[in-house]
Amino acid sequence: MTLVFALAASALFGTGAYLVLNRDLVRVVLGVVVISQASVLTLIASGLVRGQAPIDPEPGLPVADPLSEAMALTAIVIGLAVTALLLTLVLRVVDAYRVRDLGEVSDEEAEQDERLERAEAAEHDAEEAAAR
């Protein structure tokens, strides 16, 4: 059973990592969501005993580890919140840059940095000349 969990979690993590490395911003968010599912699955798998649901259990039968389920629930809730936050952030970036491709965002940023650098270098050279 542990092997099945481990394989599933690693498959999820791999898929998520592939998506995060994508240039499309929405796919990056999806990648983060898939990776968060990998960690939730691992939390469930980390339970020390397996059995029926710990809410109102029938006596005599083994009960699943409630602690790992509580952790997984908390992680799901937090994951939901940060996904919403990330989507809002992507929306604002798309709004500001008018593109939804990470490559174009970084191209624009690099261009702006270069302009800034050039302006500063020119300023610096002018000062050097003046100092001489």
Partner 1 sequence: MTAAWIALVVPWAAGIVALVLDGRRRAVGWAAVAGLAVNFVALVVLAVGVIDDGPRSVTTGDWPAGVGITLRADALGVLFAALSSLTLLAATSHELADGIRERSFPGLVLLLATGLTGVFVTGDLFNFYVFFELSMTAAYVLATYGGGRRELGAALVFTTANLLGTFVFLLSVAGLYHVTGTLDMTRIADRMAVVEPSTALLIAVGFFVAFSVKLGLFPFHFWLPTVYTGAGPAVAAILSGGLANIGSYGLLRFGGEMLPRELEFAAVPLMVIGCASIIYGGILAVSRRTASEMLAYSAIGQVGYVLVAIGVGGAVGFAAAILYAVVNALNKTLMFLTLRMRGALVAGAFVIGALSVAGVPPAAGFVGKLELFHATAGDPALIVLIFLGGALSFVYVFQVYQFEFWRTAPSGPRSGRPQQAIVGALALLTLSVGLWPEPLLALSRDAAAVLGAVGG
* Residues engaged in binding partner 1 (CB under 8 A): 20, 25, 28, 32, 35-36, 38-39, 42-43, 45-46, 48, 67-68, 71, 74-75, 78, 81-82, 85-86, 89-90, 92-93, 96-97, 105-106, 108-109, 112, 117, 120-121, 124, 127
* Whether the Cβ atoms of residue 45 and residue 65 lie closer than 8 Å to each other: no
Of 92 and 114, the one with the shorter C-beta distance to partner 1 is 92
Of 53 and 122, the one with the shorter C-beta distance to partner 1 is 122
Of 114 and 127, the one with the shorter C-beta distance to partner 1 is 127
Residue 97 sits at the vertex; the CA angle it makes with 120 and 95, to the nearest 5 degrees, is 140
Least distance to partner 1 from the beta carbon of 132, Å?
13
Residue 77 sits at the vertex; the CA angle it makes with 73 and 80, to the nearest 5 degrees, is 135
* Whether the Cβ atoms of residue 10 and residue 43 lie closer than 8 Å to each other: no
Least distance to partner 1 from the beta carbon of 111, Å?
12
With the C-alpha atoms ordered 46, 51, 55, 59, is the resulting torsion angle positive or negative? negative
The number of beta carbons lying within 10 Å of the beta carbon of residue 54 is 14
Least distance to partner 1 from the beta carbon of 11, Å?
14
Least distance to partner 1 from the beta carbon of 37, Å?
10
Cα maximum dimension of the chain: 91
